[in-house]
Amino acid sequence: MAEVPIVDIRRDDAPEKIDAACRHIGFFCIAGHGVEPGLATALDGAARAFFARPEDEKAQIGMARGGLAWRGWFPLGGELTSGVPDAKEGLYFGAEGDADGRPLHGPNLFPAHPESLRPAVLAWLDAMTAIGHRVMRLVAVGLGLDAGWFDAHLTADPTVLFRIFRYPPAAPGWGVAEHTDYGLLTILLQDDCGGLQVKGPDGWVDVAPVPDVFVCNVGDMLDRMTGGRYRSTAHRVRNPSGRDRLSFPFFFDPSWEARIEPLPLTDAAPADDRATRWDGASVHEWSGTYGDYLTAKVAKVFPALATTSAFHASSTSSDDIKQA
């Protein structure tokens, strides 16, 4: 049975080990990252305090108030996977900035209480962005590229998205059903409840939480860029505990305007895995900018928000994205 390896990213063999994991299962865990443990403690505490607030108070930063930036809170069942409501509630954040007319860009929405959530989230965004650059340099070396290849060609101005999810205990169905991530690299902090499963070559594999270790996985764009050498592996979540499960996925993705083209790799690429993918789609037949891809995908997750005039005018349906 395949396992998700833990890679100490301080070691000289880290690029080789990350490369092997991405080719085999599409997931790996990182230790030795240097992120101060107090940042995670503060973030977890502030998030739990927010989710414990009354529904009408949380709704003051509901996603409908975030407009084109697509930020804020959604209630239990408010997000869809393959058209089915997830058994979770959550918060959407991204790189803090001014609205510039692009979907998923702009200011974050923060609650009045707890006041500690804002500084905790902003500190986490900074820390994870730095880790994203660091891990992608190791990925580049593992692929035989210059260490700065992604920084120079794809992530000088990365698309940065961050989510906080609460999976309540004993909720029916999947907290989030089988899916792949859209972008380049996901960096996940999970609490000690467990429940994350990865679809390995031999079946579903549990990814047990380990203190001070982050789970990383390949997104659709890195799958496309590597010609399927790295797979954006399907995964899912169920809360097996009798208490709230919190997870903190951070998405380190290509710049919004970047066109996602194959990397200059020389080894033989595997066959397209469209027939066995969870959604029956091919990431290799699609072409366009990352902004095109992400906007179309996220519009399916929150269809009610996607009907707003501002978002609709700036979005592209998945049927309209150019096929290669």
* Length of the chain as a residue count: 324
In a domain, 181, yes or no: yes
Please tell me the total count of domains within the chain. 1
At 276 the pLDDT is: 87
Residue 321 has pLDDT above 80, yes or no: no
Half-sphere exposure of 63 (CA within 13 A, CB side): 26
At 307 the pLDDT is: 66
At 50 the pLDDT is: 98
At 82 the pLDDT is: 79
Q: In whole angstroms, what is the distance from residue 280 CA to residue 273 CA?
A: 9
* Interval 178-221: pLDDT, tens: 999 999 999 999 999 999 999 998 899 999 999 999 999 999 99
* Interval 146-172: pLDDT, tens: 999 999 999 999 999 999 999 999 777
* Interval 102-126: pLDDT, tens: 999 999 999 999 999 999 999 999 9
Residue 322 has pLDDT above 60, yes or no: no
In a domain, 198, yes or no: yes
Mean pLDDT of the chain: 91
Asked whether the CA dihedral 262, 265, 266, 272 is positive or negative, the reply is negative
The percent of residues in the chain predicted with pLDDT above 70, rounded, is 93
At 115 the pLDDT is: 98
In a domain, 301, yes or no: no
At 308 the pLDDT is: 57
Q: Which long-range contacts (CB under 8 A, 24 or more apart) does 314-319 make?
A: 314/68, 314/101, 314/102, 314/103, 315/103, 316/288, 316/292
pTM of the predicted protein model: 0.93
Write out the two tokens for 9: 């990213």
DSSP string, 125-167: HHHHHHHHHHHHHHHHHHTTS-TTHHHHHT-SS-EEEEEEEEE
Closest CA to 31 of 252, 164, 209, 235: 209
Residue 64 has pLDDT above 80, yes or no: yes
Compute φ and ψ for 98, nearest 5 degrees.
-85, 155
In a domain, 302, yes or no: no
* Amino acid (1-letter code) at residue 150: F
Q: In whole angstroms, what is the distance from residue 248 CA to residue 90 CA?
A: 10
The percent of residues in the chain predicted with pLDDT above 90, rounded, is 74
Which residues lie across from 96 on neighbouring strands?
106
In a domain, 323, yes or no: no
Higher pLDDT, 82 or 308: 82
Helix (H) / strand (E) element for 265: namely: none
Q: In whole angstroms, what is the distance from residue 19 CA to residue 13 CA?
A: 10
Strand 80-81 relative to strand 159-167: parallel, antiparallel, unpaired? unpaired
Assign residue 194 a region (left: φ > 0; alpha: ψ between -120 and 50; beta: otherwise).
left
* Interval 231-279: pLDDT, tens: 999 999 999 999 999 999 999 999 999 999 999 998 989 999 998 898 8
Residue 129 has pLDDT above 90, yes or no: yes
In a domain, 295, yes or no: no
Asked whether the CA dihedral 138, 143, 144, 149 is positive or negative, the reply is negative
Residue 169 sits in which domain range?
A: 6-283
Confidence of residue 288 (pLDDT cuts 50, 70, 90): confident
Q: In whole angstroms, what is the distance from residue 233 CA to residue 198 CA?
A: 7
Closest CA to 230 of 129, 150, 316: 150
In a domain, 50, yes or no: yes
At 296 the pLDDT is: 86
> Which CATH number is 110's domain given?
2.60.120.330
